């Protein structure tokens, strides 16, 4: 899963008032957090609220769960502006797009379709929650912050804040990659590494 250029992305979405979505309802992106990484180092971070177009009024359930206000999203970017910025942040085809779960990319694609806009990011998409599940042999998918706690770490900032979750995803990505290195077979030592040649030469010189 090694790549030199990555985008770690997290979105928060609108929610229906109850778990039974009304007819025609679909989740819209209302907050975006992106961490742009190159060669393992954070190059740029991006965070914004996004104004929903099709279901502009947030439900009480949504505001309560995300601790977000109507005013925050009303003052956010339009979805088309978000798409434009995501396109600018992308590295192109060589981008690895990393999310925790598969909903972020699904909702982004559906929102693009509803707005009549092209999908803005090219590259390889990685669901890190599935990588985590396979790596540790878990039966069920683990929540982002629970996964971090299982590493004995803490998430960054506040859960369900888009940029904080994107940064937390980046951190757990690094932890998983580090653990994978321990499973790799060590390279065989060269003769020079097995023998201290300086001592051997000293013995021959005496």
Structural domains in the chain? 5-205 (3.30.420.10)
Asked if 160 is an active-site residue, the reply is yes
pLDDT score of 155: 85
> How far is the CA of 19 from the CAs of 25, 26, 61, 70, in angstroms?
11, 12, 10, 20
- Annotated catalytic residue: which of 2, 160, 177, 193? 160
- Rg over alpha carbons for the chain, rounded to the nearest Å, is 22
Strand partners, 99: 127
Strand partners, 145: none
> How far is Cα 190 from Cα 193, in angstroms, rounded to an integer?
5
pLDDT score of 200: 46
CB 121 within 8 A of CB 7: yes
CB 71 within 8 A of CB 199: no
Strand partners, 41: 38
Taking residue 165's Cβ as centre, other Cβ atoms within 10 Å add up to: 28
- Annotated catalytic residue: which of 12, 28, 31, 131? 12
Average pLDDT per block of 10 residues along the chain, 206 residues long: 84 90 90 96 96 96 96 98 96 92 97 98 94 80 87 87 96 88 60 49 53
Q: What secondary structure does DSSP assign to 88-101, as a single string?
A: HH---TT-EEEESS
CB 32 within 8 A of CB 48: yes
At residue 108, φ and ψ (nearest 5 deg) are -60, -45
Closest of 176, 163, 86, 80 to residue 128, by C-alpha: 176
pLDDT score of 185: 55
């Amino acid at each position: 899963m090694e790549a030199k250029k990555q985008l770690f992305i997290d979105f928060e979405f609108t929610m229906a008032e109850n778990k039974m979505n009304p007819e025609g309802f679909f989740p819209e992106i209302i907050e975006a957090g992106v961490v742009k990484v190159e060669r393992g180092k954070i190059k740029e971070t991006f965070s914004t609220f996004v104004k929903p177009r099709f279901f502009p009024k947030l439900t009480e359930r949504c505001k309560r769960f995300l601790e977000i206000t109507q005013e925050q999203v009303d003052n956010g970017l339009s979805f088309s502006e978000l798409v434009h910025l995501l396109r600018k942040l992308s590295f192109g085809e060589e981008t690895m797009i990393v999310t925790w779960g598969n909903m972020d990319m699904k909702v982004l694609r559906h929102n693009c379709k509803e707005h009549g806009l092209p999908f803005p990011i090219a590259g390889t998409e990685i669901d890190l929650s599935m990588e985590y599940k396979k790596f540790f042999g878990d039966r069920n998918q683990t929540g982002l912050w629970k996964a971090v706690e299982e590493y004995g770490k803490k998430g960054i900032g506040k859960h369900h804040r888009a940029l904080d979750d994107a940064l937390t995803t980046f951190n757990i990505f690094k932890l998983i990659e580090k653990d994978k290195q321990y499973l790799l077979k060590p390279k065989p030592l060269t003769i020079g590494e097995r023998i201290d040649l300086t001592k051997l030469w000293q013995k021959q010189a005496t």
